[in-house]
Amino acid sequence: MHIVVCTKQTPDSAAKLTVDAAGNVSWGDSPIVINPWDEYAVEEALLIKERLGGNARVTVISMGPEAALEALKHAIAMGADEGIRIWDPIFEGSDTLATSYVLAKAIEKMGDVDLVLFGKSAIDSQTGQIPVEVAYRLGFSPLTYVIKIAELDPAGKTIIAERLLEQGRQVVKAPLPAVVGTIKGINEPRYPSFMGIRKATRAQYPVWSATDIGADPAKVGAAGSGVRWTRIFSPPTREGKAEIIQAETVEETVRILVDKLMAEKVI
């Protein structure tokens, strides 16, 4: 069984972000890490491999510049088998339409993929669109928001997944190959082991270009994108500190609070 995990790098979730007048975002000396949601995807791939008695290969791929290596290395350190970076200067400026095209072309090139795992969304651009777009492009079963893989049958080529929707869990049976978009709650991602970190440092990370994956230059980068980002800015700041309500008694305090909330018309 060949499992592919798609991942990308993001600034650490605790980073303090600033944005300059030109719209460049910077995160000071905060580290670049694997997109936190993607750790669930890597973990799930490793759990599947373990359940199949090692009878699976886990490849992690990332479309991105040099910095994308951070995500690949973390996945290898957790236990993935190999990491491939997909990059070409003409990929610069890709929206999800173009990124999903590039990832789908890379997966097509591999030819033997049974399962593609994703994180729920990237914590920077936070679109959450890539998993379903890749599934749709490849014609793989589209299983997003998966909180549990209830059954995976590589021989019968089927998967049963529980998807978390607003009203509850939808159980879906679908054929392989499939795309599984993972969410938190599906597992507890492991920490990289010391041996894993050593392996990740020594591993080779091939880079596949647009030509390598047979990508049409008209479908990548800004030219292949539908969405253009026009401005990035900080949200208006809140009024500042809370108005602390403090009266003689607990009862009086909550009475004042209720008065205020009624005046605000929120209750």
Partner 1 sequence: MSNDIFVWIEQFNGQVAGPSWEAIGAARTLSQTLGGQVCACIFGQGVEALAKDAIAYGADKVFLADDPTLADFRLEPYTALMAELARQHQPALILMGATARGRDLGPAVAVDLETGCVADCTALEFQDGQLVATRPIYAGKLLCTCTVPERRPAVFTLRSRAFPKPEPDPSRTGEIIQVAPILKEEDIPSKVTGFQETVGGVNLADAAIIVSGGRGVGGPEGFEPIRELARTLKAAVGASRAAVDAGWIPYEHQVGQTGKTVSPDLYIACGISGAIQHQAGMRTSKVIVAINKDPEAPIFQLARYGIVGDLFKYVPALAEELKKRLGA
Ligand X SMILES: Nc1ncnc2c1ncn2[C@@H]1O[C@H](COP(=O)(O)O)[C@@H](O)[C@H]1O
Site of interaction with ligand FAD (CB under 6 A) = 13, 36
Considering only residues 130 to 169 of the shown chain, the ones binding ligand X according to CB under 6 A are: 130-131
Name which of 37 and 87 has its Cβ closer to ligand FAD: 37
User: What crossing angle do the helices spanning 69-78 and 194-202 adopt, rounded to 10°?
Assistant: 140
For partner 1, which stretch binds (CB under 8 A), given 55-63, 84-92, 209-217, 237-245?
237-245
The string over 102-130, giving b where at least 16 C-beta atoms fall within 10 Å of a residue's C-beta and e elsewhere, is bbbbbbeeeeebbbbbbbbbbbebeebbb
- Figure out which of the listed residues 35, 59, 129, 187 binds partner 1, where binding follows CB under 8 A: 129
93 lies in the binding site for partner 1 (CB under 8 A):
no
Give the shortest CB-258-to-partner 1 separation in angstroms. 5
Tell me 149's DSSP state: E
Name which of 29 and 188 has its Cβ closer to ligand X: 188
Name which of 83 and 119 has its Cβ closer to ligand FAD: 119
- Figure out which of the listed residues 17, 52, 67, 195 binds partner 1, where binding follows CB under 8 A: 17
Tokens of 265: 């018309």
Tell me 184's DSSP state: T
Cα separation, 264 vs 267, in Å, equals: 8
- Figure out which of the listed residues 3, 15, 33, 37 binds ligand X, where binding follows CB under 6 A: 37
For partner 1, which stretch binds (CB under 8 A), given 60-68, 82-90, 192-200, 258-266?
258-266
Q: What is the helix (H) or strand (E) element at residue 170, kind and residue range? A: strand 168-175
Tell me 82's DSSP state: E
DSSP annotation string for 89-115: GGGTT--HHHHHHHHHHHHHHH----E
Tokens of 208: 């596949």
95 lies in the binding site for partner 1 (CB under 8 A):
yes
Considering only residues 74 to 133 of the shown chain, the ones binding ligand X according to CB under 6 A are: 96, 99, 103, 118-119, 121-122, 125-131
Q: For the beta carbon of residue 226, count every other beta carbon within 10 angstroms.
A: 8
9 lies in the binding site for ligand X (CB under 6 A):
no
Name which of 67 and 171 has its Cβ closer to ligand X: 67
Name which of 15 and 63 has its Cβ closer to ligand X: 63
Give the shortest CB-251-to-ligand X separation in angstroms. 47
The string over 156-165, giving b where at least 16 C-beta atoms fall within 10 Å of a residue's C-beta and e elsewhere, is eeebebbbbe
SS3 assignment, position 181:
strand
